[in-house]
Homo-oligomer: A and B are copies of this chain.
């Protein structure tokens, strides 16, 4: 059920399981990046607290994503509940610059509204 994409195994985008494609397969799931991002931002927290911070995520999906992120070693359990691992933090830090891209993107769309 919980099927985690593994580098070296066939994944979306690469029959040979290229690491980047395996990673895309993992974090390219609904809420995956949002959960990682949020957890990294708020620090160690309980399931419910994280759920609140994600604003509209359902417990079922949060639980699913947490399972996957845990299995992938990006998140782990701590006394306080859940937290990102070192690897998870590394990934988060690489996601941070996307915040700037997102802003530029938002501005672009504001100027020139999407036509579809």
Contact = CB atoms under 8 A, between A and B. Distances in A.
Interface of A: 2, 4, 6-8, 10, 12-15, 19-25, 27-34, 37-38, 54-57, 67, 70-74, 87, 90-91, 94, 97-99, 101-106, 108-110, 112, 114-116
Nearest to A92: B101
B98 A20 contact: yes
A7 B94 CA distance: 21
Contacts of A38: 13
A54 B11 CA distance: 11
Summarize A's interface: helix, strand, loop or mixed. helix
A114 to B, nearest CB: 4
Contacts of A73: 105, 108-109, 112, 114
Given A20-B98, A20-B99, A28-B33, A116 B71 contact: yes
Contacts of A105: 7, 19, 23, 72-74, 87, 91
